[in-house]
Amino acid sequence: MARSIDYRLAREKMVKRQLIPRGIKDPEVLEAMGKVPRDLFVEEALGGETYNDHPLPIGHNQTISQPYIVALMTEALELTGDEKVLEIGTGSGYQTAILAELSYKVYTVERIRALMVGARSILARLNYNNILFKAFDGTLGWKEYEPYDAIIITAGSPKLPQPLLDQLAEGGRLIIPIGDMSSQELIKMTNRRGRYIEKNLGGCRFVNLIGVHGWKE
Ligand code: SAH
């Protein structure tokens, strides 16, 4: 008989041991991280590792980010519930679910159609109805619905794609990992009446952002 894993308990431990001690404070972010079933976004065979303190493979050479990084980036977006959020790099759809919990509407873009389709089906099963999906090069943004109050890029880029900055609303926040292919710095840009305030949130390691304004294929 298969041993069933208590995922709810695993989630609680993750919040208490990985997120709170490292300084994640926003109660809404902690609540969302404690609620969204990350186990549904990873392959069943990896189930026991779902809530561990590291990224996991999701196929197509891509990864689902470490829980702490998801929480850190989400907290930095300063969501209050009524934002339009643009996400580049849907991947498994896990980060998308966290964003959907904390904002009004999420526009998520993924360049690998199969990943987008998989994420869309899990997120529909979880009854999220405030997410729009697009299989496209996200370095171009999603012009149709601009401007966005928050933009999150979950793949590493050599530079900040200009179209994404252009689609950020006044007062809006954008988070992107910028660096070389093996390591990056998490950069936050805040749009203050067309002037951009830059903040470095620390080192990280993401798969490549591939596109017109990212890495070449
Ligand atoms: N947030 C995701 C992490 C996925 S990894 C999760 O929680 O699972 C990064 C994703 O970015 C990959 O799925 C990759 O295919 C995607 N990606 C890379 N370049 C992209 C681009 N230009 N536009 C859209 N998605 C891109």
- In this structure, are residues 20 and 30 in contact, taking their beta carbons and an 8 Å threshold? yes
User: Ligand 1: which of 205, 210, 212, 213 to mutate, most ligand atoms within 8 Å of CB?
Assistant: 210
The residue to mutate among 40, 62, 175, 184, having the most atoms of ligand 1 within 8 angstroms of its beta carbon, is 62
Residue nearest to atom 13 of ligand 1 (CA): 91
CB atoms within 10 A of CB 149: 23
pLDDT value of position 45: 86
Q: Is 65 a catalytic residue?
A: yes
Q: Is residue 186 part of a domain?
A: yes
The residue range of the domain holding 80 is 53-204
Give the C-alpha separation, 73 to 37, whole Å.
18
**Within a domain: residue 143?**
yes
Number of domains in the chain: 1
Q: Report d(CA 190, CA 2) in Å as an integer.
A: 49
Per-residue pLDDT of the chain (217 residues; tens, 9 = 90+): 445 789 999 999 999 999 999 999 999 999 999 999 999 999 988 989 999 999 999 999 999 999 999 999 999 999 999 999 999 999 999 999 999 999 999 999 999 999 999 999 999 999 999 999 999 999 999 999 999 999 999 999 999 999 999 999 999 999 999 999 999 999 999 999 989 999 999 999 999 999 999 999 8
Q: Name, in order, each residue with C-beta under 8 angstroms of 71's C-beta and a sequence gap of 6 or more.
A: 19, 24, 29, 30, 33
Query: Would residue 87 count as lying in a domain?
Result: yes
β-pairing verdict for 168-179 and 148-153: parallel
Residue 211 CB–ligand 1 contact under 6 Å? yes
In the reported structure, the alpha carbon of residue 47 is separated from the centroid of ligand 1 by a whole-number distance in angstroms of 21
Contacts 24+ apart (CB under 8 A), 186-191: 186/69, 186/72, 186/73, 186/76, 187/160, 188/76, 189/160, 189/165, 191/165
38 is a domain residue: no
101 lines ligand 1 (CB under 6 A): no
Question: Does residue 129 lie in a domain region?
Answer: yes
Determine contact, residues 18/70, Cβ cutoff 8 Å.
Answer: no
- Tell whether 82 is covered by a domain: yes
Expressed in angstroms and rounded, the spacing between residue 140 Cα and the centre of ligand 1 is 14
In a domain, 108, yes or no: yes
CATH no. for residue 62? 3.40.50.150
Residue 183 maps to a domain: yes
The minimum-distance atom of ligand 1 relative to the CA of 92 is 8
Counting from 1 in the atom list of ligand 1, the atom nearest the Cα of 58 is 8
